[in-house]
């Protein structure tokens, strides 16, 4: 078993036991107009078509070694049609949008997915955007865990390894992250400069859990794994 998979398994075990005293839990509704590239402070639209609305911003409890998990549902539509869930749909076979200011671009199969980005505190507007996450195929959306960097847009979807099924995925929070931002990566036909948010409808109901450093919860994680094994037995 790989180290990454072992860490993901521990985190998912902890998720089953997470309580308000151990983890940061919450719920938010992410509109289909939520502009991820403005990271909650602006609504850029270099590609035209409208910048939509501010992305959802969640202030994170401080710490290192944190891990996030998500569960999302709902429906969103583009240009008044082509409704899909948070894992994305076929309005476009792929999304390819370059970086905007300090925020990376997003490239991957399908379109209209729920995405996120972790950002640091303070004014980040003058910072250089990092390279984007790699999503070469649909299988790359189904991994057990991910390690996005600061200001790197990452796929969340419904938060599970399958569409509407499978195990919770683990997203390792970069140290230094002060905020989690949730939104949509949009452009004309989901390709080119960002924009074209104003004809989007619907949105995604999203629950999230930010778990403290797994090392501090190792005992709880092991208990969670044992409970899961008993259920499978």
Q: How far apart are the first and last CA of the chain?
A: 20
Q: What are phi and psi of 153, to 5 degrees?
A: -65, 130
> How does pLDDT run across 104-163, given as a tens digit for each residue?
999 999 999 999 999 999 999 999 999 999 999 999 999 999 999 999 999 999 999 999
201 in Cβ contact with 81 (< 8 Å): no
> How does pLDDT run across 42-75, given as a tens digit for each residue?
999 999 999 999 999 999 999 999 999 999 999 9
Strand, coil or helix: 203: strand
Of the candidates 143, 148, 155, the one whose C-alpha atom is nearest the C-alpha of residue 176 is: 148
Q: Which CATH number describes the domain made up of 3-232?
A: 2.60.120.430
Position with higher pLDDT, 80 vs 26: 26
pTM: 0.86
Residues with Cβ < 8 Å from 229, sequence gap 6 or more? none
> Alpha-carbon distance 30 to 125, whole Å?
23
- Can you read off the two tokens belonging to residue 46? 């270099």
Of the candidates 164, 161, 173, the one whose C-alpha atom is nearest the C-alpha of residue 208 is: 173
Of the candidates 182, 210, 184, the one whose C-alpha atom is nearest the C-alpha of residue 197 is: 184
- Can you read off the two tokens belonging to residue 106? 């997003």
3-state secondary structure 163-189: CCCCCECEEECCCCCCEEEEEECCEHH
- Residues 194-208: what's their mean pLDDT? 97
pLDDT given for residue 215 in this prediction: 54
- Residues 156-185: what's their mean pLDDT? 97
């Amino acid at each position: 078993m790989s180290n990454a998979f072992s860490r993901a398994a521990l985190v998912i075990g902890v998720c089953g036991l997470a309580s308000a005293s151990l983890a940061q839990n919450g719920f938010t509704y992410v509109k289909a107009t939520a502009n991820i590239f403005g990271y909650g402070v602006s609504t850029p639209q270099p590609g035209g078509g409208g910048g939509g609305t501010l992305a959802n911003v969640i202030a994170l409890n401080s710490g290192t070694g944190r891990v996030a998990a998500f569960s999302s549902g709902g429906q969103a539509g583009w240009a008044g049609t082509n409704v899909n869930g948070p894992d994305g749909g076929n309005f476009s076979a792929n999304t390819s949008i370059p970086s905007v200011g300090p925020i990376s671009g997003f490239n991957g199969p399908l379109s209209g997915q729920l995405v996120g980005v972790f950002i640091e505190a303070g004014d980040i507007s003058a910072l250089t955007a990092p390279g984007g996450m790699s999503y070469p195929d649909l299988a790359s959306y189904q991994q057990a865990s991910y390690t996005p960097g600061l200001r790197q847009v990452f796929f969340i979807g419904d938060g599970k390894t399958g569409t509407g099924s499978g195990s919770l995925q683990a997203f390792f929070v970069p140290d230094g992250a002060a905020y989690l931002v949730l939104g949509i990566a949009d452009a004309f036909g989901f390709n080119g400069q960002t924009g074209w948010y104003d004809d989007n409808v619907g949105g995604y109901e999203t629950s999230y859990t930010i778990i403290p450093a797994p090392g501090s919860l190792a005992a709880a994680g092991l208990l969670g794994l044992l409970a899961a094994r008993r259920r499978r037995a």
